[in-house]
Amino acid sequence: MAEYDYDLFVIGAGSGGVRGARLAAELGAKVGIAEEYRIGGTCVIRGCVPKKLLVYGSRYGGEIEDARGYGWTCEGVRFAWPTLIHNVRREIDRLNGVYTRTLENAGVDKFLTHATLEDPHSVRLADRDTPISAKYILVATGSHPVMPKVPGAQHLISSNECFHLEALPESIVIIGAGYIGMEFASIFAGLGVAVTVLYRGNQVLRDFDMDLRDGVAEALRDRGVDLRMATNVASIEKEEGCYRVKLKEGGSVAAALVMAATGRAPNTAGLGLQQAGVELGWNGHVVVDEYSKSSVDSIYAVGDVTDRKNLTPVAIREANAFVETVFQGKPAAMDYTFIPTAVFTEPELGTVGYSEEQARERCARIDIYKSSFKPMRATLSGRNEKVLMKLVIDAETDKVLGCHMLGPDAAEIVQMAAVALKLGVTKAQLDSTMALHPSIAEELVTMRHRWEPPVPIKGSDAAA
């Protein structure tokens, strides 16, 4: 008789968990997986995928406007939120089915219930009496939105609820200016909602390159978003037909909905992790080594629950590396360098590598190349649109350390730039690459003039 019921038991069927379960099963391991919500996880069910569909939906209004300059007559154009959200939900149901079948086809046993760890080799499922034993356990439970602790926080929605809205609000206040705050501000603005963003810091998207941060803020303001910096929420109160957000700085904003986009925290509560001896970090994340192994030899963890780099492709890569390490006997450590990422605002932002500010801290000398221009498309559309392209170079090695872009298809372009950066591309090699004309991306290989910070004009302060 086998020593354990399963070779691998996975808790959480999101991007990381499904990948780990499927790959291990395809290698012949006996695998079980537990999921208490829906198979697919945050990315597929209430994150990246439905969000990107809403992004596409929100862009058509602007594109229809643009089309006029190209000779199209666009009268009687209407938008119906129920159609969009219904179609998004239908696609999510389809993907939920695809993920479910992926597990079934790989021979993974599914348990649609809550699982808790009992000890380093056993898991208890909420809907059965006897625990399940496993040689290895993979914790891939993801993260959840964190709500700010302010009076009236019970009135807040998170991004999760945005996918369940039956009607589009006339106005929304968004608290927080990170990935989710900026993306939803852009989506709602594109769909005609009056958007106010309240951010406690001085500029949106902390930790991104400052030129990108400035560019996103300017673009959102141009599209009518009321972005308020250095603004803190004191309380949220329900009033007749709306919510009133009171500000610590004085004054208030009223809106039909108030959304918190104030970060996410690992899902580790109620999992029995500490009971099984698993060390948790400062915000409850599972502490793991470079092979995703926790402080308990038989328990591994991947994805947001480990709070390393909380992005779907990273969770998937961590799961691949876990399977290689544990089931193929090839220790595979994760490499977190040059991870490209995008913020799907309109225009979108794509970035890989060091920001100018990070590079200045780490390198003796850096060179900056940047270009800001009106894309060709905007010449006839008349849209007030600017593209920003920026390269951060280590002046001593000529290596490209960072590539940043704000503009159409930034995510697609930066994904390809990430290949070059990962391979250690130099500025000279970019310059030797032939441009593809006319395109926006050609700017990456045609930037010849180093950017110099403006020299302050003597006495200019006095003049001002």
Residues with catalytic roles: 437
CB of 199 to ligand NDP, least distance (A): 6
Minimum Å gap between C-beta 370 and ligand NDP is 23
Residue 444's beta-bridge partner residues?
Answer: none
> Can you tell me whether residue 124 is helix, strand or coil?
strand
Smallest gap from Cβ 143 to ligand NDP, in A, equals 8
Comparing CA positions, the residue from 46, 29, 278 lying closest to residue 10 is: 29
Question: Among all residues, whose Cβ is closest to ligand NDP?
Answer: 178
Structure tokens at 439: 């395109």
124 vs 246, beta carbon nearer ligand NDP: 246
Count Cα neighbours of 310 within 13 Å in the Cβ-side half-sphere.
22
CB of 124 to ligand NDP, least distance (A): 30
Torsion of CA 296, 297, 303, 304, to 10 degrees: 10
Q: Which is nearer to ligand NDP, 25 or 305 (CB)?
A: 305
Q: What does the alpha-carbon distance between residue 152 and residue 189 come to, in Å, rounded to a whole number?
A: 25
The 3-state DSSP class for residue 218 equals helix
What is residue 426's DSSP assignment?
B
Least spacing, CB of residue 183 vs ligand NDP, in Å: 6
Nearer to ligand NDP, 144 or 377 (CB): 144
Q: Which is nearer to ligand NDP, 176 or 402 (CB)?
A: 176
Kindly tell me which of 69 and 313 has the beta carbon lying closer to ligand NDP: 313
Alpha helix ranges (H) inside 150-249: 159-162, 179-190, 210-222
Cα atoms found within 13 Å of the Cα of residue 77, Cβ hemisphere only:
14
3-state secondary structure of 252: strand
Task: Give contact residues for ligand NDP (rule: CB under 6 A).
Answer: 148, 175-181, 183, 199-201, 206, 261-264, 310-311, 341-344
Secondary structure of residue 441 in the 3-state scheme: helix
Least CB distance to ligand NDP at residue 449 (A): 31
Distance CA 260, CA 159 (A): 8
What is the DSSP secondary-structure string of 246-308? Answer: EETTS-EEEESEEEE---EEE--TTS-TTTTT--B-TTSPBP--TTSB-SSTTEEE-GGGG-S
In whole angstroms, give the CA distance from residue 229 to residue 235: 17
Of residues 78 and 149, the one with the C-beta less far from ligand NDP: 149
Of the pair 41, 176, the CB lying nearest ligand NDP is at 176
Distance CA 269, CA 253 (A): 34
Token pair belonging to 333? 């450590």
Q: How far is the CB of 223 from ligand NDP (least distance, A)?
A: 18
Task: List beta partners, residue 254.
Answer: 244
CB burial of residue 304 (10 Å; 0-12, 13-18, 19+)? buried
